[in-house]
Amino acid sequence: MEKLVSPIENAVDSVFVHVTDLRRAAEWYSMVMGLPVLEERLNGGNVYWLKLQGGTGLILDDNRSNAADTPHVRFMYKTDDIDAALRYLEGKGISTLGGIERPHPGLAFMRFIDPDGNALMVTQSDYVSDVVERLPDTDSPIQNRFGGIFLNVTDMNRAIRFHSEALGLPYSEVSDRQEDSIYDLEMKQGSGVLLDNNRYRQGDTYETLFMFVTKDVDRSKDYLAAHGVPVFTDIERHGELAFFTVKDPDGNFIMICSEVNE
């Protein structure tokens, strides 16, 4: 299938985690990845942001500046032309929530929702942040880099069509076999996006947001346990791949996954 022309880049700028206590969340995620806590970003605002290795950042958002009915965005894509991105989505019959917002010069964004109710954002921004590097004396074996972002779906082929067309990506539909329960929306840079219907297939009531990579899964589990972080699902091993999941202080599920050399 020919690549469509979309002004929305297949590159995730940042992932959102929605929290209730910004300081607690900033300290927790910094502990997990061995990062310094940036006090200047805990200045009374509603977000705490970290640009990570690989190009995709993390935004902790306590939603104080959002209306009560504003959907919680999962992550944001980049664009160089927000107006063209709006026209493109509308041409595909994809509704945006409130159109384009321009909170201050150099920043514009819009939200849209996929058929499974996942809220996503498209952002045009002139702002650039430096990567927050790990502390030189950290004991954390967990890297400051995403291994993948999960987007939980119920109808895999419907999700493949929707997200591929929004990004202008070629795609192929998959079978209903268990091994086709993950579909990689390959990004040109930064973290990949994984359409995942495992939670739906298995009847789970939780969703994993994303995975951080580590060079040592067993030591990562011990490190988190020493910091009072309980394991939610224990280590699973599939050849070179090994992973487990934990909950952050707000009950968000994240995965710690081995770094596989390809």
Express each pLDDT in 35-48 by its tens digit: 999 999 999 899 99
Distance CA 170, CA 51 (A): 29
pTM, entire model: 0.93
Mean pLDDT score of the chain, rounded to an integer? Answer: 92
Answer yes or no: is pLDDT of 8 > 90.
yes
Q: What was the pLDDT predicted at 206?
A: 82
Residue 161, phi then psi, degrees to nearest 5: -60, -45
Q: What was the pLDDT predicted at 1?
A: 40
Strand partners, 196: 152, 182
Q: What was the pLDDT predicted at 177?
A: 63
Q: Which of 189, 202, 195, 205 is nearest to 173 (CA)?
A: 195
Query: In 10 A of CB 73, how many CB atoms?
Result: 24
Distance CA 119, CA 71 (A): 6
Asked if residue 46 lies in contact with residue 65, where contact means CB atoms within 8 angstroms, the answer is yes
Distance CA 196, CA 243 (A): 16
Distance CA 172, CA 4 (A): 14
List pLDDT tens digits, range 119-153: 999 999 999 899 999 999 999 999 999 999 999 99
Give the pair of three-digit tokens for residue 113.
Answer: 């929702």
Strand partners, 189: 11
Element (H, E) at 109: strand 107-113
The lowest-confidence range among 50-54, 92-96, 176-180 is 176-180
Answer yes or no: is pLDDT of 214 > 80.
yes
